[in-house]
């Protein structure tokens, strides 16, 4: 790997100061995407600011009608959390299906959404569950957060502190994994809650996670798998690669949406 | 360069490393513990799995400096007083390896799996082995060995 500077601040304030000072810094959370990216030199930041030492960012709290999860909370912890399992079992199940067990022991919620990989799972949960993303500077609604492939609303010196997930009445996430990489070819998160009904799709879109308004409207009238069975998203704008055409992914969106509504009950 | 210190297999270990040094490089090249393997170097294969503070992680996807102060367990630290760990013994008994390259990672993953999941069944074991690749065995005897060890350790 190439040379870089490494800092491990103990507090958020120190992390912010280090970010502001460095030439071309990058935050290191769990590193499960960033370290492979550095090895391939797809990113070459001058400084890595490791937030793994900031204890305040690692927590899960159920309060009122929401679960708050610290940005540096590992996937395995979310998957096993009694609070998340109780109030938001679809979110716990999603966390339990990210990567593999060793990756889930390191990877973090904040890292996943800050990176916004178009095939990542957490962005679908945030968008479908009307999550609130709290940063060192402001509160960002999930609808405003994801801006396109590997693009978010985050500014350079902004750090995600926690994500608030309001409890859904019904929710489920279904993904069709690529048989080799195991990443989502298509993942669909459906939910019903105080925000109404949401359907969020990951893995399929060239610009990352997106909502399907037509499915949301159909489910509002009739919450059943049949309601989405004949709704097809346009293939234009979907990913096409050696693993599947855009048409194939469009088809999978419908299939996964049906399965997710069935699973949500 | 900066000094990184951790506990490896119960003993203090300390060395001068660059920030870019991976945990697996520190373990293999600086400590000479070559039981931990590098198969793919892309986080896919799991040959490099070690335990960091009791949890299985891929040591090719972690910087040595991130492990400052951590408690590391590698394959070399499993056997006690010349006695194989029950998972190691089960891999031998059930022929859970052929070439052996993936075995250290398989065993470290299995020990972590058995710790986390008291009631293992075949489907769960296969699912939990998602991050470990074996190109010889077809996994069948690895699964058998893990199930047998899980029974033995109850």
Q: Which residues of B touch A98 (CB under 8 A)?
A: none
Q: Nearest-CA distance from A38 to chain B in Å?
A: 10
Examine the domain organization and report whether A24 and A106 are in the same domain.
Answer: no
Examine the domain organization and report whether A234 and A132 are in the same domain.
Answer: yes
The per-residue DSSP string of B9-76 comes to TTEEEEEEE-TT-BHHHIIIIIS--TTS--S-SSSSS-TTEEEETTEEEEGGGSBGGGGTT-EEE-GG
Examine the domain organization and report whether A12 and A130 are in the same domain.
Answer: no
Examine the domain organization and report whether A113 and A173 are in the same domain.
Answer: yes
Short-list A35, A28, A55, A72, CA closest to B62: A35
Residue A159, token pair as written in the block: 């750090």
Short-list B77, B17, B71, B25, CA closest to B48: B25
- CB neighbourhood size of A138 (10 A): 10
Per-residue pLDDT at B154: 87
Per-residue pLDDT at B1: 83
Nearest to A5 among B19, B57, B58 (CB): B19
Nearest to A100 among B20, B63, B130 (CB): B130
Per-residue pLDDT at A179: 86
Cα distances (Å, whole numbers) of residue A173 to A165, A203, B153:
15, 13, 35
> B103-116 and B86-93 are packed helices; what angle lies between their axes, rounded to 10 degrees?
120
Closest chain B residue to A52, measured at CA = B66
- Domain of A24 in residue numbering reads as 5-51
**How far apart (Å, rounded) are the C-alpha atoms in residues A209 and A28?**
23
Examine the domain organization and report whether A107 and A13 are in the same domain.
Answer: no
Question: Exposed (0-12), middle (13-18) or buried (19+): which is B101, by Cβ within 10 Å?
Answer: middle
Higher pLDDT: A181 or A253? It is A253
CB pair distance less than 8 Å for B65 and A50: yes
Which helix (H) or strand (E) segment is B142 a member of? helix B140-152
Span B79-92, pLDDT tens digits: 999 999 999 999 99
C-alpha torsion B80→A105→A81→A199, nearest 10: -150
Averaged confidence pLDDT in chain A: 96
Q: Which residues of B touch A35 (CB under 8 A)?
A: 22, 43, 61-63
Per-residue pLDDT at B44: 93
Per-residue pLDDT at B144: 98
In this complex, is the C-beta atom of B22 within 8 Å of any C-beta atom belonging to chain A?
Answer: yes
> Which residue of B50, B57, B59 to mutate against A (max A Cβ within 10 Å)?
B57
Strand pairing class (A210-211; B11-17): unpaired
CB pair distance less than 8 Å for B62 and A31: yes
CB pair distance less than 8 Å for B131 and A103: yes
Span A163-194, pLDDT tens digits: 999 999 999 999 999 988 889 999 999 999 99
Architecture, CATH, for domain B86-152: Orthogonal Bundle (1.10)
Examine the domain organization and report whether A30 and A137 are in the same domain.
Answer: no
Examine the domain organization and report whether A83 and A135 are in the same domain.
Answer: yes
Q: What is the SS3 assignment for A64? A: coil
**Based on the structure, what is the number of domains in chain A?**
2
Is B2-76 assigned to CATH 3.10.20.30? yes
Across A52-56, A127-131, A189-193, B19-23, least confident range:
A52-56
Examine the domain organization and report whether A13 and A118 are in the same domain.
Answer: no
Examine the domain organization and report whether A237 and A255 are in the same domain.
Answer: yes
Examine the domain organization and report whether A144 and A174 are in the same domain.
Answer: yes
Span B45-63, pLDDT tens digits: 999 999 999 999 999 999 9
Q: How confident is the model at residue A1 (pLDDT cuts 50, 70, 90)?
A: confident
pTM summary value: 0.96
CB pair distance less than 8 Å for B61 and A1: no
Per-residue pLDDT at A180: 83
Q: How confident is the model at residue B109 (pLDDT cuts 50, 70, 90)?
A: very high
* Residue A117 belongs to domain with CATH number: 3.30.465.10
Per-residue pLDDT at B41: 87
Cα distances (Å, whole numbers) of residue B133 to A95, B35, B104, B126, B129:
22, 16, 12, 11, 8
* Residue A13 belongs to domain with CATH number: 3.30.43.10
Nearest to A106 among B18, B57, B113 (CB): B57
**Is the pLDDT confidence value at A108 over 90?**
yes
Closest chain B residue to A100, measured at CA = B131
Q: Nearest-CA distance from A50 to chain B in Å?
A: 8
Q: Where are the domains of chain B?
A: 2-76, 86-152
**How far apart (Å, rounded) are the C-alpha atoms in residues B76 and B8?**
10
Per-residue pLDDT at B128: 97
Examine the domain organization and report whether A82 and A125 are in the same domain.
Answer: yes
Examine the domain organization and report whether A15 and A119 are in the same domain.
Answer: no
Q: What is the SS3 assignment for A91? A: helix
């Amino acid at each position: 790997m190439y040379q870089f500077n490494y800092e491990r601040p103990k507090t958020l304030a120190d992390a912010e100061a280090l970010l502001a000072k460095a030439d071309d810094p990058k935050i290191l959370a769990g590193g499960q995407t960033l370290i492979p990216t550095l090895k391939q030199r797809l990113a070459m930041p001058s400084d890595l600011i490791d937030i793994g030492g900031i204890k305040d960012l690692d927590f899960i709290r159920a309060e009122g009608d929401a679960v708050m999860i610290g940005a540096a909370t590992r996937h395995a912890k979310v998957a096993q959390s009694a609070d998340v399992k109780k109030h938001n079992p679809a979110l716990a199940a999603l966390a339990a299906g990210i990567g593999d067990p060793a990756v889930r022991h390191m990877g973090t919620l904040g890292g996943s959404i800050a990176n916004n990989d178009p095939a990542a799972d957490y962005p679908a949960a945030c968008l479908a569950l009307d999550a609130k993303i709290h940063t060192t500077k402001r509160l960002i609604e999930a609808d405003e957060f994801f801006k396109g492939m590997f693009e978010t609303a985050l500014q350079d010196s902004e750090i995600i502190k926690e994500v608030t997930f309001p409890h859904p009445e019904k929710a489920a996430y279904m993904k069709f994994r690529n048989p080799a990489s195991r990443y989502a070819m298509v993942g669909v998160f459906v939910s019903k809650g105080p925000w109404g009904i949401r359907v969020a799709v990951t893995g399929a879109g060239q610009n990352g996670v997106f909502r399907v308004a037509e499915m949301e409207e159909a489910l509002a009238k009739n919450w059943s798998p049949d309601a989405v069975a004949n709704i097809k998203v346009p293939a234009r704008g979907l990913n096409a690669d050696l693993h599947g055409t855009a048409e194939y992914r469009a088809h999978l969106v419908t299939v996964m949406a049906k399965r997710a509504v069935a699973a949500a009950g | 360069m900066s000094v990184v210190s951790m506990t490896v297999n119960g003993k203090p270990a300390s060395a001068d490393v660059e920030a870019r040094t991976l945990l697996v490089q520190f373990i293999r090249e600086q400590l000479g513990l070559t039981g931990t393997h590098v198969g793919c170097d892309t986080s896919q294969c799991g040959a490099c799995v070690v335990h960091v503070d009791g949890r299985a992680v891929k040591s090719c996807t972690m910087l040595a400096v991130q492990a400052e102060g951590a408690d590391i367990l590698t394959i070399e630290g499993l056997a006690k007083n010349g006695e194989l760990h029950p998972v190691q013994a089960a891999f031998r008994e059930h022929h859970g390896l052929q070439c052996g390259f993936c075995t250290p990672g398989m065993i470290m993953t299995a020990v972590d799996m058995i710790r986390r999941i008291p009631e293992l069944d075949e489907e769960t074991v296969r699912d939990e082995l998602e991050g470990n690749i074996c190109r010889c065995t077809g996994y069948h005897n690895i699964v058998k060995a893990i199930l047998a060890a899980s029974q033995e350790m109850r």
